[in-house]
């Protein structure tokens, strides 16, 4: 009897908070195309090359799954893993990794796979999180972040128009 009353109460509560004509059974999610992810990566490489810097860059989708990876000719091999972790961190926190530096020595900052140093940025358009980009290999995280931003800047207007 108690279960039936509980179920009825839950049904009433849900019917009051989720009107049937306003409830969507699915969610439409915009995603970066492979071509867009590649453009972001190429834009980051180009920006760092103008500074005489060789980098690794990774672009991930909104879940943190790798979509595009580039390592310039003489960038250290480790730049690939660091750039992936920066991109993964940026997308999971929906924030620039440079904003997360103060959290690096907290329990959350020690979670495997997260890198909370400058060089990772979320890719956003139309108020939506679409992915993340991470750059590694520049002499400073600030330069990594500037190159990541240059990659995003290469496509952001087109992304905004498509939203």
Structural domains in the chain, sorted by start: 34-162 (3.30.450.150)
Q: Give the containing element (helix H, strand E) for 149.
A: helix 141-153
Sheet containing 56-61: order of strands = 66-71, 56-61, 128-136, 120-125
> pLDDT by residue for the chain (163 residues), tens digit each?
444 444 444 444 444 555 556 788 898 888 999 999 999 999 999 999 999 999 999 999 999 999 999 999 999 999 999 999 999 999 999 999 999 999 988 898 889 999 999 999 999 999 999 999 999 999 999 999 999 999 999 999 999 998 8
3-state helix, strand and coil shares in percent for the chain, rounded to the nearest 5: 50, 15, 35
Place of tokens 């128009």: 161
Alpha-carbon torsion (107, 112, 113, 118), positive or negative: positive
């Amino acid at each position: 009897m108690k279960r039936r009353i509980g179920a009825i109460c839950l049904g009433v509560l849900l019917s009051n908070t989720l009107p049937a004509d306003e409830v969507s059974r699915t969610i439409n999610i915009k995603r970066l195309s492979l071509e867009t992810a590649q453009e972001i990566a190429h834009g980051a490489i180009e920006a760092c090359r103008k500074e005489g810097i060789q980098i690794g860059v990774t672009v991930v989708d909104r879940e943190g799954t790798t979509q595009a990876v580039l390592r310039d000719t003489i960038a250290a091999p480790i730049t690939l893993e660091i750039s992936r972790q920066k991109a993964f961190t940026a997308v999971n926190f929906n924030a620039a990794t440079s904003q997360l530096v103060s959290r690096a020595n907290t329990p959350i900052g020690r979670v495997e796979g997260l890198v909370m140093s400058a060089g990772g940025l979320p890719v956003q358009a139309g108020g939506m999180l679409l992915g993340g980009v991470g750059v590694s290999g520049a002499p400073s995280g600030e330069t990594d972040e500037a190159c990541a931003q240059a990659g995003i800047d290469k496509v952001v207007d087109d992304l905004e128009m498509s939203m």
